Every structure is written in C-alpha cells, then in structure tokens.
Amino acid sequence: MSKLSSKPKPKSCTDIQDELATIKQLCAKHEVLCLSFNRWKAHVEQNDAQLEILNDTATSLRFRHKMLADMLAVKPNESEVLEKLQKEIRAVESQVDIWIRELSEINEVRTHLDMEFIKLRSKLQRSMTNIEIAHLDFDKIEKHHRDIWKKFLYNTRQLSSSS
C-alpha cells in the first residue's frame, strides 16, 4: 500500500499563468467597478445640484406667494390691480406645476441612483473580497517561486561542489 503524500502537488507554469491571468481579470473588473462608482458619484452630485436649484425655486415661489397674499389682504378694488394679481397668480401656478414635475423627475432619478448604489456597493464588496483572495493566491505563487528558486540554487551548488 502506498501512503498518500501530505505535500500538495507543485503547480505547473501553465497553472500559475492561469492563476495570474485570473488575478489580472479580477483587477480589471475591480477597476471597471471603481469607474462605475465614480460615474455614480458624479450623477449624485448632479442630482444634489438639481435639488438645490429646486430648493431655491421653492423659496422664490414662497416669497411670491406671500407677496400675492399680502396684496390680496389689502382687498384692492381697481380692476387694473386685480388683473395684474390674476396674471401673477397664473404665473405662480404655472411655475408650481413645473416645479412639481421637475421634483418628481429628480426624485425618480434619485431613487434609481439609490438602487444603483446598493448594487455597486455589493459588487464592490464582493470584488474587494476577491482581490483579497487573489492577493493571498499571489503570495502563495510568490512563495512557491522562491522555494523553487532556492531548490534550484541549492541543487546547483551541490552539483558544483561534487564536481
């Protein structure tokens, strides 16, 4: 009966090259994920800027509403003033409609960005784990290479001394 060897079989050059190719692919995928994350971040910053503009518009609309309310509180009787007020009220209503539509669109984009973030974060975490595993594999390959080199040098010295 033969005993099973506890030593793992040394990897061939092809196996090592395949492992290195896999590590390179993991790094390339990770780089693509990082670029996707940067694009996502730029989109979020753009969305934030749009929300800030909407916030400024809301402040302006509140001011215009207060101004109209104050003018109506005086109860003007002149038809010219009433026509101006009606025109301004229609303009404010139109702006509010536009504001609501834009807010809805920006909110929809933000929801999509939030979902994209969850997916990217998950992929990035998985990629980081794979990179850490690849790093361990790379360390193992490097150690294996050093061991082979040491054996080669040792055998070369043995051959030189015996000659």
CA–CA separation, 68 and 52 (whole Å)? 24
Q: Measured between alpha carbons, how far is 123 from 129 in angstroms, rounded to an integer?
A: 10
Q: At what angle do helices 79-162 and 13-73 cross, to 10 degrees?
A: 170
Separation CA 110–CA 123 (nearest Å)? 20
| pLDDT in single tens digits along all 163 residues of the chain | 444 445 555 566 677 788 778 878 888 888 999 899 999 999 999 999 999 999 999 999 999 999 999 988 888 888 888 899 999 999 999 999 999 999 999 999 999 999 999 999 998 888 888 778 777 777 777 888 788 888 887 887 777 777 6
76-106 confidence digits (pLDDT tens): 888 888 899 999 999 999 999 999 999 999 9
Distance of alpha carbon 72 from its chain centroid, rounded?
51
Place of tokens 């809805």: 104
Determine the pLDDT at residue 7.
54
Question: What is the residue extent of each domain of the chain?
Answer: 28-147
CB 20 within 8 Å of CB 141: yes
pTM: 0.64
* Cβ count within 10 A of residue 44: 16
CA 128 → CA 20, 45, 141, distances in Å?
A: 17, 25, 20
Written as six digits, the tokens of 37 are 């994350």
